Structure 1
């Protein structure tokens, strides 16, 4: 359980870290690269939440709450990526 907790913390904290780093870059293409990394971290976070639920480390209602939140974050990243690439 400790391993999953540690990995979940790293993956979830990587999301805003990569978005912040990408904001400081010189081009939309570079920013998009960091958004891709952030999206990968969001997907990793989502999987680790599913795994935690399946292993019964978290309750169903806790999983549902976190799943809604991570999917909202993923949607916002996708929207931002679309705006960057449609310019």
Structure 2
């Protein structure tokens, strides 16, 4: 089976694992007819790994760094959505804390990778 280069990146691997978890939450929201929340979370969750993958197809490190910046911003978007979901009692405080920890770890790794590319 063919493998794309982005699949070997640690930041992509972390992001796709987190994406799976966030999409599970979105699926739960859809079952509960919270479609707007589910739609927002689906888009924001997919944005992280999508931008890492798309960015690796760039022609320059500077362009790739731009896509990593978008992925980084998407971690913050996901964090905000999760805070709102917890405030609305759609996810637990424990879930929120766990996901925020994972998002923070990913955001830090994206920042480090971006800085490395721009050296």
Return the TM-score normalized by structure 1: 0.92
Name segments (4+ residues, structure 1) moved above 6 Å: none
Tell me how far apart the structure 1 counterparts of residues 67 and 79 of structure 2 sit (CA, whole Å): 18
Tell me how far apart the structure 1 counterparts of residues 55 and 92 of structure 2 sit (CA, whole Å): 35
Aligned residue number for residue 58 of structure 2: 25
Tell me how far apart the structure 2 counterparts of residues 10 and 41 of structure 1 sit (CA, whole Å): 9
Number of corresponding residues: 86
Gaps of 5+ in 2: 1-33
Aligned residue number for residue 106 of structure 2: 73
Q: Which among 37, 60, 74 is matched to residue 93 of structure 2?
A: 60
Aligned residue number for residue 11 of structure 1: 44
Tell me how far apart the structure 1 counterparts of residues 110 and 83 of structure 2 sit (CA, whole Å): 20
Return the TM-score normalized by structure 2: 0.69
- How far did residue 2 of structure 1 move? 2.1
CA RMSD after TM alignment: 1.0
Greater relative CO, 1 or 2 (CA 8 Å, sep 6+): 1
Tell me how far apart the structure 2 counterparts of residues 74 and 4 of structure 1 sit (CA, whole Å): 22
